[in-house]
Chain A
Amino acid sequence: NAGVMQNPRHLVRRRGQEARLRCSPMKGHSHVYWYRQLPEEGLKFMVYLQKENIIDESGMPKERFSAEFPKEGPSILRIQQVVRGDSAAYFCASSADSRNTEAFFGQGTRLTVV
Chain B
Amino acid sequence: AQTVTQSQPEMSVQEAETVTLSCTYDTSESDYYLFWYKQPPSRQMILVIRQEAYKQQNATENRFSVNFQKAAKSFSLKISDSQLGDAAMYFCAYRSPYTSGTYKYIFGTGTRLKVLA
Residue contact A55 to B101, C-beta cutoff 8 Å: yes
Q: CB of A41 within 8 A of chain B?
A: yes
The closest CB in chain A to the CB of B109 belongs to A42
A-B contact pairs, 23 of them (CB 8 A): A31-B103, A33-B103, A33-B104, A35-B105, A41-B110, A42-B110, A43-B45, A43-B105, A45-B104, A45-B105, A45-B106, A48-B103, A48-B104, A55-B101, A56-B101, A59-B104, A93-B105, A102-B33, A102-B50, A105-B45, A107-B42, A107-B43, A107-B44
CA gap between A15 and B6 in the complex, in Å: 34
CA gap between A13 and B19 in the complex, in Å: 41
For residue B42, which residues in chain A have a CB less than 8 angstroms away from its CB?
Answer: 107
Most buried by B among A42, A91, A108: A42
* Interface residue from A40, A44, A89 paired with B43 (Cβ < 8 Å): A89
Give A residues with C-beta under 8 Å from B. Answer: 31, 33, 35, 40-45, 48, 55-56, 58-59, 89, 91, 93, 95, 99, 102-105, 107-108, 110
Contact A102 B35, CB 8 Å, known A43-B107, A95-B103: yes
CA gap between A41 and B42 in the complex, in Å: 16
CA gap between A43 and B97 in the complex, in Å: 19
For residue A35, which residues in chain B have a CB less than 8 angstroms away from its CB?
Answer: 105, 107
